[in-house]
Amino acid sequence: MRISIIFIGAIFAFLTSFSQENNRVPTIFVDKQGVMRWSDTQKEASFYGTNYTVPFAHAYRALSYKGVNHKEAIDRDVYHLARLGYNAYRIHIWDVEISDAKGNLLENEHLDLLDYLFFKLQEKGIRILITGMTNFGNGYPEKNEDTGAFTYLFDKCQVHADPRAIAAQKAYITQLLRHKNPYTGYTYQEDPYVVGFEINNEPCHMGSVHTTAAYIKEMVTAMKKAGNKKPIFYNVSHNIDHVPAYFNADIQGTTYQWYPVGLVAGKQREGNFLPYIDQYNIPFSTVKGFANKAKAIYEYDPADNLYGYMHPAMVRTFRSAGFQWITQFAYDPIDIAAYNTEYQTHYLNLAYTPAKAISTLIAAQIAYTIPRNQQFPAYPQDTLFGDFMVSYKQDLSVMNTPEKFYYSNETSYLPKQIDRLQHIAGYRSSPVVGYTGSGAYFLDQLEDGLWRLELMPDAEQVADPFGKPSLSREVTQILHTAHVMDIKLPNLGTAYTVQHITNNTDDNNLQQVQHTSFVATPGVYLLKRKAWSSKNSWTADSKWELGKIGDFYAPVATVNSKPVMQHQPAKTIEKGKAVRLDFRLITAQQPDSIILQTDQVSFWKAHNPYIKLLPKDHYTYEAQLPESMLQGDLLRYTVTVFMNGKQFTYPDDKNGAPLDWDYQVGQYWTSDLVESSSPILLTQAEGPDCPFERYAIPEKAYVTSKIVQNNLTEVAQWQYTFEGKDAGSRYFWVKDVKDIIAARPKGIAQATTVCIQLQWKDHTGSLDIGFVDDQGYTYAKQVFVENKEKKVLRIPLADLQMIPTALLPAPYPDFLNRYFHPEIPLPFVKDKIEKLVIATNGEVQQGASVSIGALWLE
């Protein structure tokens, strides 16, 4: 009994101390001009962070499936959110998991985990925006669970109009606001770290504007009656025809989203998307009430890609548009990030997507330092701004100040003042840090001559993370591989010492650096200048801004019985010169050797030539194929890895080698061998799958497709039938051809004409035919085709003219621009082609169709 009393007393004392400290924490208010300000200094506030959902839905269930303790998972992830410099967190609460049929709040594990999460975020100084309700199920990507909550009793588009649903929501939101967090001692509406409340997530208002206004008024009244004095936000990027109701309401803030390249592509998207994120134009900015409402981005993400250049560019644009709260959607829990199952179209985690994560660190700094409403020149002049730069060609973003040097990829940029640096974060190498691993690292100066190094393990992508998700389908592997790290800092000098202090396991055996280099494995290190001394005693338990010096959270190494080989064969290879092929071998242990062999080898031959792959770094290899191997019309080859007395052959991905007496090659990597003077085939109508991605503006229009071949003597073509009520709809066919162009350097140098097989049916009209280059600019020629006229069109490349770039797929919200209009004319350069684009030009009748066959350059 005495022990229990002492324990309870200790908890009470801790909560009292925590509460007293929070009483001194400044809060946020929105002034009459719609600006979020700090209560103590009256200065503008600026926030950047993420959404994260471990207490609820699939994340909660998936951690349970894996046997992971949810609170320990939160500890790991919150540390990384702070490590990335975030100061903001937003969540749309799954009301279906914490409420009953009448809207009563349920005290259950989901709510307890939310309370715990808020507590851990506050420990790191991270502010919180709470969206009270999602008003949809908890299943995705699984099926919904029937929890008996009020949301399941109403359609999402009726939940804001049905009096019974509104009554349940009012009861729920009142109890949520008054709920006391046992870990902080504060109710949600009193908590100084809670910035404000968004009523619900992406409301669906189908009735009249008056009905919407009445709903918002009822909810705001209920929240005030509950005792809430914090800013109330409402989503204004949905149901644009209801905008007057939003801005006439007694709310202090408005919320928006941005998904500039669409969602759920089912694959990784590639290309220069900087034109897509150049502007965020709000068409209702002149509506009465707009100017005195704070603006928040509740969700944003450049979905379906892992680029490290997009987040900083998007946040720059957000700041230009006046946003003060910016939260990405969504951060993957570290314990299930290997699979990317939570939201297949989004993928962000420090350990598993290191380059992208470092780019959000840079994005956070942009949010904090770029003034609100600052304007920049149009793309491409806005790729250098303030202390920042972004580059599609280098897949790079950089922050470069006298004190901070952050970069999301290999860079040759020099720090502004290397002798004044205090913080470095990066992926790959820079003039300051040489590193060939594939994990992120952080260097923080603790005092003169003493630095803390935090080094994450290697993260290697082994499958498309945006494909069909499964908890048994690993998309990224983790390797705790040792790499040489070369750190050149004047503050450290040469021959400094390295002490490994990860997670309170002080290692008294100091590693001496060879000039400026040493071998490092993942963990935390203290780097000490030669003859360094200090009055401070630095250990793993020493405190610093993120907790303890030795704190370190990383996934364990992936257990894999055999190496993973990654290689993308070129569709075509030009004859006449040697060619280089690149491979990536994902394995913790270096192989004894790797050899490439063609289909010409045989167990029965006395002499079987091979090419030995040469390492470029720990995981990357290359093979130089001589011109003598590029004979005939087809190159077929395998690669065999020799390791620990075993052989693994690819692309079969099985044990053994082609020259074993009992090994039969099941498949080869293949490339067509062509003369440099031969046409460059960009697409053809062969195979069961349509060669194009198809889009329309507006998006409600679409095309149906089928392959047609009238007789065996004709070449097959894909026929596309137009479906859309608006004859003014514009239809697009897009294909990425960057790799085809890169594989034909001689052919593209000789090419003068683009050729296409076309035929209209029940229509006569025009098409724009052309290309998008690596700048994201579009060049096309308008061509006219008669009804039922089957022909091969030949368009001189010299006739292609710059036209506006269609932003495909459609961005969300749908009020954003659909075209990028270049302000700086640039000449068309044919070897910079990345995408093939065909588009209708003018009215197209519903039910009419166009057939597209092969397309090539000659």
Interacting residues of 713 by C-beta distance below 8 A, sequence separation 6+: none
Structure tokens at 348: 């962000």
How confident is the model at residue 7, as a pLDDT? 45
SS3 readout for 409-474: CCCCCCCCCHHHCCEEEECCCCCCEEECCCCCEEEEEEECCEEEEEECCEEEECCCCCCCCCCCCC
Instruction: State the pairing for strand pair 127-133/194-200.
Output: parallel
Structure tokens at 778: 């579009």
Residue 8 has pLDDT above 50, yes or no: no
The whole-angstrom separation of Cα 672 and Cα 636 is 9
Beta strands in 692-747 (DSSP E): 693-697, 702-708, 717-723, 730-736
Query: pLDDT band at 510, cuts 50/70/90?
Result: confident
CA terminus-to-terminus distance, the chain: 89
Residue 92 has pLDDT above 60, yes or no: yes
Residue 2 has pLDDT above 60, yes or no: no
Residue 17 has pLDDT above 70, yes or no: no
- Contact yes or no for 695/808 (Cβ under 8 A): yes
**What is the average per-residue pLDDT within 682-696?**
90
Beta strands in 570-716 (DSSP E): 572-574, 579-586, 593-598, 611-612, 614-615, 620-625, 634-643, 646-650, 654-655, 669-674, 680-683, 693-697, 702-708
**What is the average per-residue pLDDT within 239-262?**
97
3-state DSSP assignment of residue 660: coil
How confident is the model at residue 433, as a pLDDT? 98
How confident is the model at residue 562, as a pLDDT? 82
In eight-state DSSP terms, residue 557 is P
Residue 13 has pLDDT above 60, yes or no: no
Q: For residue range 517-532, what is the model confidence (pLDDT) as tens digits?
A: 999 999 999 999 998 9
Other Cβ atoms less than 10 A from the Cβ of 599: the count is 14
- Which residue in this structure is represented by tokens 């080869």? 668
Taken as a whole, the chain contains a residue count of 858
How confident is the model at residue 6, as a pLDDT? 46
The whole-angstrom separation of Cα 416 and Cα 405 is 8
The model's pTM: 0.95
C-alpha distances in Å from residue 264, one per residue of 261, 465, 698: 10, 11, 19
Interacting residues of 670 by C-beta distance below 8 A, sequence separation 6+: 569, 634, 635, 636
C-alpha distances in Å from residue 2, one per residue of 6, 11, 16, 406, 609: 6, 14, 21, 53, 81
C-alpha distances in Å from residue 149, one per residue of 159, 197, 304, 414, 844: 13, 21, 33, 57, 48
The whole-angstrom separation of Cα 524 and Cα 507 is 11
How confident is the model at residue 3, as a pLDDT? 45
Domains of the chain: 45-385 (3.20.20.80), 388-548 (no CATH), 564-674 (2.60.40.10), 680-857 (2.60.120.430)
Q: For residue range 457-502, what is the model confidence (pLDDT) as tens digits?
A: 999 999 999 999 999 999 999 999 999 999 999 999 999 999 999 9
Closest Cα to residue 353, out of 333, 377, 326, 375?
Answer: 333
Torsions phi, psi for 623 (to 5 deg): -125, 130
How confident is the model at residue 100, as a pLDDT? 98
* % of the chain residues with pLDDT over 70: 97
Dihedral of alpha carbons 107, 112, 113, 118, sign:
positive
Query: pLDDT band at 561, cuts 50/70/90?
Result: confident
Other Cβ atoms less than 10 A from the Cβ of 572: the count is 18
Query: pLDDT band at 121, cuts 50/70/90?
Result: very high
Query: pLDDT band at 711, cuts 50/70/90?
Result: confident
Residue 306 has pLDDT above 60, yes or no: yes
Q: Is residue 198 within a helix (H) or strand (E), and if so which, with residue range?
A: strand 194-200
**What is the average per-residue pLDDT within 813-837?**
96
Residue 507 has pLDDT above 80, yes or no: no
How confident is the model at residue 689, as a pLDDT? 86
pLDDT greater at residue 478 or residue 846:
478
Residue 610 has pLDDT above 60, yes or no: yes
How confident is the model at residue 589, as a pLDDT? 87
How confident is the model at residue 506, as a pLDDT? 56
- Which residue type sits at 445? Q
Which residues share a beta bridge with 233? 198, 253
